[in-house]
Amino acid sequence: MKNATSNLFDLNGRVAVITGGGGMLGYQHAATVADLGGIAVLLDINSEALAGNRARLHDELGVEALCLTVDITDADSVSAACATVLEQHGRVDILINNAARNPKVEGNDGKEFSRLEHFPWEQWRQDLDVGLGGAFNCAKVFGARMAEQGAGVIINIASDLGVIAPDQRLYRVEGKAADEQPVKPVTYSVVKHGLIGLTKYLATYWCEQGVRCNALSPGGVYAGQNDVFLGKLSQLIPMGRMAKVDEYRGALAFLCSDASSYMNGANLIVDGGRSTW
């Protein structure tokens, strides 16, 4: 028998829509929801990646997840997805705005396009369209539905780089001139800072209708990065390492569930202590 505290984390029967559901963290978010008894719905523009995560959820957890190929930058596509979710599950209880483009640091055709001086307008527009525009579209559609229901939770996946600036020393390449050094692109920080601002706006917008909104700001996840980069980054983190891919499950479970019932408009930073230095 569960005790009163563990009951707070119970998501039994709750429907959670996860954007970027075909990605590495998209799978982890879906698995967290499923482990707690919830119903995961995965949205992504990449149908192949969606199919992979759907198969993985089935094989590892025995879960049959609804997966929808959706362009979150298109409001009509998001509305159609919401209609499908309601048709199949009858409600929406949780929205996890996880989708984002991750602009590359590496140069392009010999020019360090990641540097602000060379960063293409089209790249800026596309990154903001997905990371901020997509979150806006999904909050607008799914959040409005939650408000009609009288309850719901929105979680925006931000980043420690939505709180602090990128340390560009991490990306320096020996032998290159200062104005040729690759950097973390501007759009990543702008999107993540913007998501925290959107979180505060949404937290007050539908509060009277029972809809809460918080942000989760994770640090970097280890995914085979080279040893030089890892060595530099580890020195910036008090815990001395990047996160394991499943180390954000507990934080997400807290934000999705009644365990965080009095938390609204907050940004939960889980970065191994990096942003404290």
Within 10 angstroms of residue 220's Cβ, the number of other Cβ atoms is 21
Strands 39-44 and 66-69: parallel
φ, ψ (nearest 5 deg) of residue 253: -60, -40
For the structural domain made of 4-276, what CATH number should be given?
A: 3.40.50.720
Which DSSP letter does residue 9 get?
T
pLDDT in the model for residue 110: 47
- How far CA 162 is from CA of 58, 106, 129, 143, 188, in Å, comes to 34, 21, 17, 23, 8
d(CA 45, CA 77): 10
pLDDT in the model for residue 7: 94
pLDDT in the model for residue 104: 73
- How far CA 145 is from CA of 8, 43, 256, 262, in Å, comes to 23, 17, 17, 21
pLDDT in the model for residue 54: 98
d(CA 160, CA 157): 10
pLDDT by 10s per residue, the chain, length 277: 567 898 999 999 999 999 999 999 999 999 999 999 999 999 999 999 999 999 999 999 999 999 999 999 999 999 999 999 999 999 999 999 999 998 777 654 445 689 999 999 999 999 999 999 999 999 999 999 999 999 999 999 999 999 999 999 999 999 999 999 999 999 999 999 999 999 999 999 999 999 999 999 999 999 999 999 999 999 999 999 999 999 999 999 999 999 999 999 999 999 999 999 9
